[in-house]
Chains A and B, each alone.
Chain A
Amino acid sequence: MPVYVENRQIVVPGELIADKNRFRVEGKVYERDGRYYSKVLGVAYIDQENRRVNVLTLKGKYIPSPGDLVIGKVVEVGLTNWIVDINSPYPAILPLNEVFSKPTSIPRSELSKILDVGDIIAAKVIAFDYARDPLITIKETRLGKIPQGIVVEIPPSKVPRIIGRKGSMVNMIKELLGVELIIGKNGRIVIVGKDRAKAELAALVIRKIEREAHTSGLTDRVREFIMEKLNEIGGGSNEG
């Protein structure tokens, strides 16, 4: 048997996944003596047609990667930079020159007027090597301080489920609930919407997806869930 697990099987670290050279094995696995073992508590997805197995982790912190869009929280104002928590063991550094497109010189006392402790920002990772803390920027369009919204945090490994294949899940949520979702690769999502009740419903939906991320038929169930809850809200009650 080339593959020792079933599709969507939950696996633990050290669990035998497949023999080498029979299937292509990807994801959170390691190889030993010609066999692949899971590295994490995760889910094995098997693509029989293309002879591929992918092991995805169910939990875990965010490890930065250049190019990633992340939602951060400012935790410290420095002399010429800000320290930003990006839900990672590696705190991110946002230097002054990654805030403005033109070079500026601003006294330290003014820094907190631009971004202060507790501010939520959408940023992009521009550099990370394990020897130094990751560098982020908010210079590009659509980046910067997010003035309002509901922030939800999920394991980074489940972000693809929130997005869905070709955006199918996130687009459905946006359409049905009339909200904007700013999705950070680091597992943080900001829900922006004029209707408070619908925005809070979106948060519930995200939690549901997080909980059921490893199951099949999720998109349909989520649609049903949203429609059900919308009816309840439409009924006039003011629940969140």
Chain B
Amino acid sequence: MKGSVQLIDENGKRVDGRYPNELRRLRIEAGVLKNADGSAMIELGNNKIIVAVYGPHEAVPKYMAEPDRAVIRCRYSMAPFSVDERKSPSPSRREVELSMVIRQALEPAVFLNEYPRTMIDVFIEVLEADGGTRTASITAAAVALADAGIAMRDLVSAIAVGKVGGRLVVDLNGLEDQYGEGDMPIALMPQLNYVTLFQADGVFTPKEVEDAFRLVSEPIKKVYREQKRALKKKYEDVVREVEKGE
């Protein structure tokens, strides 16, 4: 994982031409699946991830239900063809951990106590992976939950901060993730300013931990704007269409 490849130059330009605080190309689309109650597709750089939300529905199995709130069941999965070396379809330990931290990143945002004894399923499938899949998944899952009409305090917007060539950068791509010095995924409820996902591997100085939050502030706003745009688009398009007709 140590920096053996030169990933950033003296001017702060990264391997894909971006500067430290730049996001990759981001596109989100909401309501893409007919069957799911809510859904979203996200493309962030080469990442392509689809999320389906089913629910709230009757808890299955029944013993998993909580009397006073909904239970979120989250499954993060990578398709075998999503990575360079084929990944086996059976859940890896990494996928188990990510399913859990993603669920815990979304739970604070949902008004779980409005749906006692029910279950909300969040199914995440990574179709193509290129660094930062867990934060992209959270970003898309929040859109899918809202698209399903589920009551939430706020959306959840997420981005990974990383360290390459000794510098903090935002939105690591696959190469930077693999050969860089550290990866720090962060998810926030942007209006309320609460952190719901916070992890790191690699070595960071205490100051870098603090700086990461400062660095992530503007990019997260961009992510949030795109999430809002995606959610509103379908409905605003209808209004435009109708107004044009008149």
A interface vs B, CB < 8 Å? 8, 10, 12-16, 28, 30, 32, 37, 39-41, 43, 57-61, 89-91, 130-131, 155, 157, 211-212, 214-215, 217, 221
Contact = CB atoms under 8 A, between A and B. Distances in A.
Nearest to B70: A89
Given A14-B154, A40-B152, 15 more contacts: A10-B231, A13-B151, A13-B154, A14-B190, A15-B191, A37-B154, A39-B111, A40-B150, A41-B147, A41-B231, A43-B235, A59-B38, A61-B57, A89-B56, A157-B149
A40 B58 contact: no
A40 B149 contact: yes
B238 A60 contact: no
Contacts of A211: 238
Interface string B111-132: 1000111100000000000000
A155 B150 CA distance: 12
B146 A155 contact: no
Interface of B: 37-38, 55-58, 67-68, 109, 111, 115-118, 146-155, 189-192, 227-228, 231-232, 235-236, 238-239, 242-243, 245-246
A61 B227 CA distance: 22
A58 B235 contact: yes
Given A89-B57, A131-B116, A60 B242 contact: no
B193 to A, nearest CB: 11
Query: Which of A14, A30, A58, A211 counts the most chain B CB atoms within 10 A?
Result: A14
Contacts of B149: 40-41, 57-61, 155, 157
Contact of B235 (A10, A14, A32, A157): A10
A14 B115 CA distance: 19
B191 to A, nearest CB: 4
A59 B242 CA distance: 20
11 contacts: A12-B232, A14-B192, A15-B228, A16-B191, A41-B147, A59-B149, A60-B150, A89-B115, A131-B117, A211-B238, A214-B238
Contacts of B192: 14, 32
Q: Which 9 A-B pairs have the closest CB atoms?
A: A60-B149, A14-B154, A59-B149, A13-B152, A130-B116, A89-B56, A89-B118, A14-B191, A39-B151
